[in-house]
Structures are given as structure tokens and as C-alpha cells.
Amino acid sequence: MSSPTSSSSRFDAYPLTFEPQLEERVWGGRGLGSFGKTLPPSIPIGESWEISDVEGKPSKVSRGTYKGRSLQELLAIDLHAVLGGCAGNESKTRPRFPLLLKLIEARDDLSVQVHPSDADLRRQGRSGSGKTEAWVILATEPGARVVYGLAPGVDRAELFKRMEALAGGKLPRRDEESLFHWVEVAPGDVIFVPAGTIHASGKGILLAEVQQTSDITYRIYDWGRPGINGKPRALHLKEAQDVSDPGPVACPSASLARARRDSLASKGFVSVLTCDKFQIDMLASESDSRAEVRESTRQERTEGFHVLSSVEGKARCRAPSGDELEISPGEFVLLPAALGEYSIEPSTVPMKILRFRGPE
């Protein structure tokens, strides 16, 4: 496939692709088929886990030297070749790839939920990562909206008192959606969801999600509907009340339209969103600007992994060894930290490529 470029000769650093893991969800649909996912018949699919190192759900490589090997196995071969500086102190515990990347289709409203932060877990004496995330809105139906925090005049104490009374059958269901702050969204909106934010994707939305490697979700409200098994899904009100409020954050937080203009002007990747858990960049190209862009997983005296994904058009990614692959919408490619220089060239235009990186 390619000659090793890692500091360790044991690791073959080349662009890695993985088999998607499709997740049945009561609120899912069939929309992920538009991104080339082969959906099982008659099953509502809500999520496609594209790159995962969650316990029990590791991604498996789909091509090249490591085909069939799990992401966890790659970290065991050479942690720093994959993660670079993002490895940090991971070697002190069971090492994990720090980001989980998904495609999500909300055919119906998701449950209103909240996720703990790293600090919340430490305060509770628990291990693992919290769950800060961000959404890139890819497609919407007219009027699509998301829950982002609480409605004006509603505080958390009031919300949880109401939810507990509902769960205990002490109150009839009425206009619960008025308790939440709803924000209309459109394709290209980028929504930052720091841990502790009460949130939910509404129906009619298809999005790409990047988050910390965690599957901890505290469900607050589920619209009174049954789950896949016909029974109500469990709520986690006690756990949710113990999560810290991160404070106000703008929603949407960023825009791909603005990033597109900046990228076309600079002819390179530009920052879309940066937080202490991950970074999102974007590269855009139009019909009159199809030049090759050269990048490296070694930037400004740092070395770290890059994940590339197309949200519009197709692009060719070339590795130092000459290994080349085309990235289509809905596909994710992991470039290990040890890869070094690579190039991106549009094969169709217009083109928008997202790049996800770990914390600086």
C-alpha cells in the first residue's frame, strides 16, 4: 500500500477509511442512503458511526494494509503514529481515539438531552470523557429547527420539577415544547454544543456530528413516544440535574457560507470552529479555482491526525507514497499524524471539504 512514514517502522501511515456502523433509532429514517450508505430494509436508521473508538463499537478499516483491523488495534500498534501530539497522556490509561464522527438523520424530533463534561465526570468520581459536540447542518426540510437551551423565563429548576412530575404521572402532558428554546436552522449552519447544553435536533434535519469519544447521554424528555421496543425510553433526570450549565453560547455558532468565502480568498483551509476538544476547518473550490492544495499533518511544530470529509463535491487526496483516493459526500478519511504531507484536489466542483482535528 505505502511505505512506512512513522517514527516507528512498525506503522504504515496511509489514508484510512472505515466501515460505517448503522444505528437503528426510533426517530431515524432512510435519508442516509443519499450518502451512499446501504440501509437495511424497513429499519429506521438514525446514525452512521463513521469513525468510532467507543467501547464495544470500534470502527474497522476498510482498505489497505490494515483492512479488517479496528481503530483500537491501530492505536496499540503505534499510538503516536496515529494521534501525534493529541496522544497527550493517553498512554497512562487505555488509549482511545479522542473523536467520534457521525452522520445523523432526524426524521422525527430527537429526545431533549444533556451530556456531562469531563469536569462533571471527575466530580462524580467517574472515568472516561465528557461529551462536547458540534453539528454541521447538511440538509433540512422547510421550517427545520433545533432545541438549544431553555425558553426565556424558564430555568433549570423549573424544567426538572416539571419533568419529574410528568414522569411520575402527577401532571398531564400539555405544551412541553414551550419550555425549550427553538432555533430555525439551514444547510451550512454550524452549531457548537458544549457539554451541559440542553439540546435536541428537531425533525427534518441531516447533519454531520463531531464529538468527544463518549456515548453518555442523559435523556430529559422524549415527547411521550414509545421506543423501538414499543415501551417508553428511560429518562435520566437525576443524572441530568447534576450536569453543570456551560452558560450562553450563540446558536448557530458559525457558517459554512462565511468559511467558503474566506477559503476561496485564501485558496486554502480556513477555521470554522475551534474549542478545547476539537477543531473544524474547511476548504472550498469553485469552477475557476481547481488548484491542488498541499497540507501536512505536521503543522507549526505540532503533529496530529486529520479527518477529511466532503459535504459537497468530490476531491482527490494524495499521500506522500502516491496512494490516492477520492472522497465523496458522506465519506470520512483519517490521515494519521505520521502521514506528513498530503494534497487535496477537487475532482468535481463546487467542492467543500471539512477537516476535523484534535485539540491544539
Q: How far is CA 65 from each of CA 34, 59, 321, rounded to the nearest angstrom?
A: 29, 15, 13
Q: In what order do the strands lie in the sheet with 324-327?
A: 293-296, 341-346, 315-318, 324-327
Name the residue with cell 451512499.
36
Choose the catalytic residue: 145, 219, 355, 357: 219
Burial 146-168 (b: 16+ CB within 10 A, else e): bbbbbeeeeebeebeebbeebee
Q: Which amino acid makes up residue 351?
A: M
Give the length of the chain.
Answer: 360
What DSSP line would sit under 192-209, residue for residue? EE-TT--EEE-SSEEEEE
d(C-alpha 90, C-alpha 95), whole Å? 5
Q: Is 162 a catalytic site residue?
A: no
Task: Name the DSSP class of 8.
Answer: S
Q: How far apart are CA 194 and CA 134, in angstroms?
A: 8
- Residues with catalytic roles: 219
